[in-house]
Amino acid sequence: MIILKNGNKTARDFGFSSAIRTLEKGLKDIETPDVIIANDFLNGREGIKLKKKTGKLLIASIHLSHPEKEEEQALMKECDGVIVYSKAMKDFIKKIYPNLSVPIEVVQLGIDTDLWKCNETPREDFLLFVGRTKDQNKNFLEIMWKAIKEKIPLKVAGDLDYAEIPGVNVKYLSQKELMKWYQKAKLHILPSTFEPFGLVTLEAMACGCPVAVSTKAGVAELLNEKVAILFDPTKEFSLSEFMQKAGAFDSKEISDFARQFNHVCYAKSFVRAVERIIITQEIKRGDYNYFPVKDKAVLDIGAYLGLTAVHFSERGAKKVYAVEPFGNLSFIQKNIVFIKAGIGKKDDAVFIDPNYANCARSRLCEHIQEDGEPLKVMGINTLINSINENGIVLKMDCEGAEDSLFSANKKTLKKIDCMMIETHENICKGIGLELSMFLTQNGFKVRLEAHGKDVGMIYAENKLRRMTKWNSTKLIYAEKGRDDVIEQSIEQSKVDITKQFSPEIEYLENQINTL
């Protein structure tokens, strides 16, 4: 995964900063990223350039939208998905970009719980505002005048524009100093009339500080009246009343609530959002529409979040067996059966790190530990023969575990009508061509598509259960989107075949010497 962050914001026309040029130089050492994430409009141009260079999906991560910027307009036009940090921002994006057809995922931000801590320090009688005072959306001026009028001591951690006004204490603070203010303040207020999220609210709460939060802020979506004072900043409100209510909150309860929104949870949520976008785009471009599934049983190995299982169900599958080692997908559809297991060459049992994030781009074997949680691993023969169905449509996307098919016996393979397998050359070098040859030699007509240097798709059809008019004596090498494919007879040896396939298919060409 490549994430582009803001480089030199003062660079002319927001062009390539030295940081971005350094990043691009480093890309030469990376064969292919999984996905490119452009963090806000400043990196839109760089993200688009990298998308064209690598052929990978581009995701726009938008904290605060700037629709007036050409860079953001171009990014929204070229991106394959958008990540935002509140439902309010999602609604805003949909409103200002009504023709946007890509998925928009909401990820909730998290805080560093090692930094923001609660203690038993007695609270002092002052109201705390943290943020930019110049930003009109922050609504600072109204808070300042209300505090002066109601004679409430106000401390401001931010810029110094209003430092000389009597009754207002404005100061720049380090994180350590800010934590002490959070721990001492009677109340922290976030009065914004528009706020994409409002991370300072969670920081204050983690330090045990009661909070008054605008319902116009994204963070309000996480809160309730048991842990926060929620108010509409466009209507009349009283700071004195808020200060009085603040004394009723329990600091530890507030802190415990906020600490569930930590960096680890944020990272897991972000990765899942990226995966949902990737899988949604795979479905959208038809990766799993190659064969008909109506009235058939589908075995979905590597179901992850269940998106492909639901897709097969909606296409009319009689029953979908969703295989995934973690989570619980049994609730998603009545005709979807959840099988909680890993997949392997033989039956086994392993112990897995309980903190395993269940990331679809991660391999199960990378998370084995002796004192972990037990997990059943089903051999490919056991799994397929446990399903009382014939004419199975097999879908596999299991990050390198596709080599388990090499252990499938003839009885197992006879139960399968067709296969749609995502291959991962960066995990198992040469797997696409080797698995294609294995299936061809076992009576399948195979089409192998290159979806980049590291990822490919195998579409295989059992010649005894042929559903199309394919000539079952051919192995087809193809490039995604190309009709002028190259066909080779299975009577030829592996060496003969590899000498003749198209040099345009780069990731297959690189495997010649491995055969």
What is the band of 165 on the pLDDT scale with cuts at 50, 70, 90?
A: low
pLDDT at 56 > cutoff 80: yes
Q: CA triplet 468, 470, 474: central angle to 5 degrees?
A: 150
Q: Which residue has the higher pLDDT, 304 or 489?
A: 304
Give me the pLDDT at residue 352, please. 67
Alpha carbon distances (Å) from 215 to 64, 250, 357? 17, 22, 32
- CA-closest candidate to residue 157, choices 146, 166, 169: 169
Over range 161-166, report the average pLDDT.
60
SS3 504: coil
pLDDT of residue 270: 92
506 has a pLDDT exceeding 60: no
pLDDT digits (tens, 9 = 90+) for 355-397: 554 444 445 555 555 666 777 888 899 999 998 888 999 999 8
DSSP string, 249-301: S-HHHHHHHHHTSBHHHHHHHHHHHHHHHHHHHHHHTTTT-SS--BTSEEEEE
Each residue's pLDDT tens digit, 192-246 = 999 999 999 999 999 999 999 999 999 999 999 999 999 999 999 999 999 999 9
Give the pLDDT band (50/70/90) at residue 509. very low
- Please give the pLDDT value at position 480: 44
pLDDT at 341 > cutoff 80: yes
User: pLDDT tens digit string along 409-436?
Assistant: 988 999 999 999 998 877 777 888 888 8
- pLDDT band with cut points at 50, 70 and 90 for residue 113: very high
Least confident window among 140-144, 341-345, 407-411: 341-345
Query: pLDDT at residue 502 above 60?
Result: no
* Dihedral (CA of 42, 45, 50, 52) sign: positive
pLDDT value at position 464? 62
Mean pLDDT over residues 250-263, rounded? Answer: 95
User: How high is the pLDDT of residue 331?
Assistant: 55
* Mean pLDDT along residues 274-279: 91
Q: Can you give the pLDDT at residue 366?
A: 53
pLDDT band at 190 (very low <50, low <70, confident <90, very high): very high
pLDDT for 473 beyond 50: no
User: pLDDT above 70 covers what percent of the chain?
Assistant: 75
Per-residue pLDDT averaged across 287-291, rounded? 89
Task: Categorize the per-residue pLDDT at 160 as very low, low, confident or very high, splitting at 50, 70 and 90.
Answer: low
Residue found by looking up tokens 């002490």 in the block: 180
User: Rounded to whole angstroms, how far apart are CA atoms 224 and 104?
Assistant: 25
Q: What is the pLDDT of residue 513?
A: 35
Neighbours of 87 (CB within 10 A): 12
Domains of the chain: 2-106 (3.40.50.2000), 124-261 (3.40.50.2000), 280-514 (3.40.50.150)
3-state class of 5 per DSSP? coil
% of the chain residues with pLDDT over 90 = 43
pLDDT at 256 over 90: yes
Model confidence band, residue 171 (pLDDT cutoffs 50, 70, 90):
low
Question: What digits encode the pLDDT tens for the residues 297-321?
Answer: 999 998 888 889 999 999 999 999 9
Q: Average pLDDT of 149-160?
A: 86
pLDDT at 12 over 90: no
**Does residue 490 register a pLDDT over 60?**
no
Q: In which order are the strands placed within the sheet that holds 348-352?
A: 342-344, 373-379, 348-352
CA angle 259, 262, 268 (to 5 degrees): 140
Average pLDDT over residues 163-167: 60
DSSP for 15-36, please give it. ---HHHHHHHHHHTT-S--S-E
pLDDT bucket at 170, cuts 50 / 70 / 90: low
Predicted local confidence at residue 511, as pLDDT: 39
Element (H, E) at 108: none
| Of 64-73, 81-90, 500-509, minimum mean pLDDT range | 500-509
SS3 content of the chain, % helix, strand, coil (to 5): 35, 25, 40
Interval 26-52: pLDDT, tens = 445 455 577 899 998 888 899 999 998
For the chain, the average pLDDT equals 80
- Interstrand relation of 154-157 and 124-130 (parallel, antiparallel or unpaired): parallel
By C-alpha distance, which of 304, 302, 299, 292 is closest to 336?
A: 299
pLDDT band of 454, cuts 50, 70, 90: confident
Q: How far apart are CA 239 and CA 145, in angstroms?
A: 11
Pairing of strands 211-214, 229-231: parallel
Residues in Cβ contact with 476 at an 8 Å cutoff, skipping those fewer than 6 apart: 445, 446, 447, 448, 485, 486, 487
| Between 331 and 468, the higher pLDDT residue | 331
